[in-house]
Amino acid sequence: MIRAVIDIIVSIAAGFYTTGRHLFVRPVTESYPEYKRPLPARSRARIILTRDPEGRERCVACYLCSGVCPVNCISMQAAEDSQGRRYAAWFRINFGRCIYCGLCEQACPTSAIQLTPDFEHIRRDILDMVFEKQDLLVDLCGKDPDYDFYQHAGVVVGLAGKGDHISENPPVNTRTNMP
């Protein structure tokens, strides 16, 4: 009985000691607007359109990001230049709808569309949340700096002939390939 009472008193005192000690511990809170924690490169926020190492637009307007987008916030119009290289005539992301899931980034075959850690791009007017191509396009390579889609695949646009792409076999002559 007395033992039980002592146990109770000791355990309660231990609790008071623990909380009391915390009074003198520096709070772990990060005061947000004054201190902005550097976020990991792969954290998902504002979306950008990157360029390849030569400074050309990476986007080939394949519509994969638009197709995979769960909330249909990406829309574009494909076009072709004189070399037969595809690009987006216009490209639009409605950030009012975007849920920052990152599926567009995963779907992109050219590493063009990428999510960045910059989450402070909120606007007062919801129409200002609709970003056009000139708002999205940046002069950087983003997270995949050496990748150039046309070095690996795609139409022959003067960069490389058939079979000259990186890790591509030369074309198979179907006539000599018979068993």
Chain positions contacting another protein, by CB under 8 A: 12, 15-16, 18-20, 22-23, 25-29, 31
Cross-strand pairs, 114 = 48
Residue 12 Cβ vs another protein, minimum distance, rounded to whole Å: 7
Which of residues 120 and 139 has its CB atom nearest to another protein in the complex?
A: 120
Both structure tokens of 70: 């769960």
Q: How near is the Cβ of 22 to another protein at its closest, in Å?
A: 5
CB nearer to another protein: pick between 28 and 166:
28
Closest CA to 45 of 94, 118, 103, 97: 118
Tallying the residues shown for the chain, one arrives at 179
Nearer to another protein by Cβ, of 4 and 127: the residue is 4
Rounded least distance, CB 149 to another protein, Å: 47
CA nearest to 45, candidates 93, 112, 99, 103:
99
By DSSP bridging, strand 86-94 and strand 74-80 are antiparallel
**CB closer to another protein out of 22 and 175:** 22
Identify which of residues 31 and 167 has a Cβ nearer to another protein in the complex: 31
Contacts of 97 (CB under 8 A, 6+ apart): 71, 72, 73
Nearest distance from residue 15's CB to another protein, in Å?
A: 5
Query: How far apart are CB 18 and another protein at their closest, in Å?
Result: 8
73/96 Cα distance (integer angstroms): 8
